[in-house]
Amino acid sequence: MIVGVDTGGTFTDVVDENGDVVKVLSRRDDPAGAVATGLGGRRPDLLCHGTTIATNALLERQGASVALVTNRGFADVIEIARQDRPSLYDQWADRPEPLVPRHLRLEVDGRLDADGVELEPVGRAPKVPDEVQAVAVCLLHADLNAAHEAAVAGELRSRGYDVTASTEVSPEFREYERTVTTVANAYLRPVCAPYLERMGDLADDVLVMTSAGGLVPARDAAHLPAALLLSGPAGGVQAAAAAAAAAGFADAVSFDMGGTSTDVCLILGTVPEPAPGRTAGGFPIRLPSLDIHTIGAGGGSIARIDAGGALAVGPRSAGADPGPAAYGRGGTEPTVTDADLALGRIPADATFGNLGRLDVDAARRALDGAGVAAQGVVDVVDAAMERAVRLVSVERGVDPSGLALVAFGGAGPLHACAVAEALGMAAVVVPPRAGVLSAVGLVTSPRQRELVRSWPTPGDTEGVEHALHELALEAGKAVGGADADVSTALDCRYAGQSHELTVATVDEFPDEHKCRNGYARPGAPVEVVALRARAKRPAHLSYDDLRPAGERKPIVGPAVLAESDCTVWVPDGWKAEVGGGGAWILRPSRS
């Protein structure tokens, strides 16, 4: 038996290999307990898991006490950062506090030059204070020569410490980003490892989704928890790409609106857009990821009148406990779910997971008590989500009129048509099991590993092909199979630039630069700064392997389509037809 389990901020979703669905409330204090409840006593042969454990620990600052060991004179790199401001015109906006306080930033003698050549031998590892639970080691230019870092990390491990070395996490240039990523991994490991061990008690084998959209063994995930910060959303994007392709759309935007947040990602040629890293909790995490943009707008987002008298929605959420007022669990503040229910976009007799019937009267009381109108709440949250979709399409030079909007999550199909209409998108696709599509993505995603290495001579590309071949072999071995599909890429830039783009070959760089930035520089030298390899093994199940979710028939709006795991709103002037893969295809009636 193969089971996918996605732990969200409000619900924990379970989907098995037959397509059967279980939806239970998440438990912030015991996420593994919610998983056990969803499994209902079953013990899967394989459990594919998307988790928020790393994300919650980072955002809530509930990680371990960490010491940072770095070169003498560089203990403040993680605080100096890039010296840019998080909000240019907001004088009150602050950077997040570093994950390592100043007294736990320890220095060691020794120095490498910018080419990785030793100038001064490395010194002994410093004494670590008793309060420390984990140690991050990040030394200058370790991405080019790991000898100093390996010596310090080895000495600390011999003393019994849980050590994260930067060369084992993010062996790329840029000291600040590499240091922060290493520290974040050390900060999360003592929290995530026990949780993933407990998950191992629930199944014979456990694979965990990474931010890059691939599954890794639980032991590897426990070693590198910084790679799990987009674990749940990544599964949804993978399934959305498959659903869009089945419905006849190679180009799309995934639109995952859950109870706490909304995640969007551009999909071109059936492939989700990758990114070399993401920002989480205000910290740059330099690890491969899908290019997912997240906003604090979901079904549980709380509506309020702000200090200026304007209606605002989110980012604060009612979550699962107490949840929206309509859940009947003690919530009194109005949410997007309450507004949808009051407007009749959710059937009055609807049930969410194991909640039972929703309370329409409680939803209306919450809205009236806060002095907010249900339609106003919906309009505000729709505008926020339109901006998010615009950011991953229009602002990247992609015309949304050629894209489908793949709507999923418990609330996505309720709001997708408004977003698609505002941007003139081609259609809205609502896949079967849309309310639990992230869990579907978990059981249909491949085992995958991404490797990256700095290229030491950016202006000299001699030897790049051989180095890429060696990196590809290493990636293939990491997923443990001769049947692995391995691809390579390069991070390139024009000489003199401080940012780079990821392309398949150097020759592709000018065209990609023109697409992203609006111009190219013919004849200008192109530098290679990093090499990448990605290895995939075939997924245990394909998207088409799941049995159909049930019969669907064409509908003309306005209409409410009540699914077992979500609700679809078909506005006036829209029609819903059945397309490839059994998905609803929603378009304006005139088209």
Give the CATH number of the domain where residue 483 resides.
Answer: 3.30.1490
Residue 179 near residue 287 (C-beta atoms within 8 A)? no
Residue 25 near residue 354 (C-beta atoms within 8 A)? yes
Give the CATH number of the domain where residue 222 resides.
Answer: 3.30.420.40
Which distant-in-sequence residues (6+ apart) come within 8 Å of 32 by Cβ? Answer: 195, 198, 199, 202
Please state, in angstroms and rounded to a whole number, the distance separating the CA atoms of residues 490 and 118: 27
Same domain, 266 and 374: yes
Same domain, 208 and 297: no
> Rounded mean pLDDT of 322-337?
92
Residue 435 falls inside a structural domain? yes
Residue 545 falls inside a structural domain? no
Please state, in angstroms and rounded to a whole number, the distance separating the CA atoms of residues 165 and 189: 13
Same domain, 418 and 490: no
Longest dimension (CA), the chain: 75
- Beta-carbon count within 10 A of 79 CB: 14
The conformation of residue 582, written as its DSSP 8-state character, comes to G
Same domain, 285 and 344: yes
- The answer on pLDDT for 415 being more than 80 is yes
Residue 87 pLDDT: 78
Residue 555 pLDDT: 92
Which of these three, 174, 189, 204, is where a domain ends? Answer: 189
What's the whole-number average pLDDT of the chain? Answer: 92
Same domain, 456 and 396: no
Whole-model pTM: value is 0.90
Residue 353 pLDDT: 60
Residue 238 falls inside a structural domain? no
Residue 259 pLDDT: 84
Mean pLDDT comparison of 57-61, 147-151, 172-176, highest-scoring range: 147-151
Same domain, 92 and 224: no
| pLDDT single digits (tens) 126-171 | 999 999 999 999 999 999 999 999 999 999 999 999 999 999 999 9
C-alpha 386 chain-centroid distance: 19
The total number of structural domains that make up the chain:
4
For residues 87 and 256, the model is more confident at 256
| Least trusted range by pLDDT, from 256-270, 348-362, 448-462, 497-511 | 348-362
Residue 252 falls inside a structural domain? yes
| pLDDT single digits (tens) 428-459 | 999 999 999 999 999 999 999 999 999 999 98
> Rounded mean pLDDT of 180-188?
98
Same domain, 149 and 204: no
Which of the four pLDDT bands, split at 50, 70 and 90, describes residue 289? Answer: very high
Same domain, 49 and 73: no
Same domain, 378 and 338: yes
Please state, in angstroms and rounded to a whole number, the distance separating the CA atoms of residues 222 and 513: 37
- The answer on pLDDT for 350 being more than 80 is no
Which of the four pLDDT bands, split at 50, 70 and 90, describes residue 296? Answer: confident
Which of the four pLDDT bands, split at 50, 70 and 90, describes residue 95? Answer: confident
Which of these three, 201, 232, 263, is where a domain ends? Answer: 232
Same domain, 432 and 355: yes
Residue 213: domain span: 2-59+192-232
Element (H, E) at 170: none
Same domain, 297 and 360: yes
> Rounded mean pLDDT of 455-476?
93
Percent of the chain with pLDDT over 90: 76
Residue 237 falls inside a structural domain? no
- The answer on pLDDT for 354 being more than 70 is no
| pLDDT single digits (tens) 219-268 | 999 999 999 999 989 999 999 999 999 999 999 999 999 888 899 999 99
Same domain, 358 and 278: yes
Residue 542 falls inside a structural domain? no
Residue 543 falls inside a structural domain? no
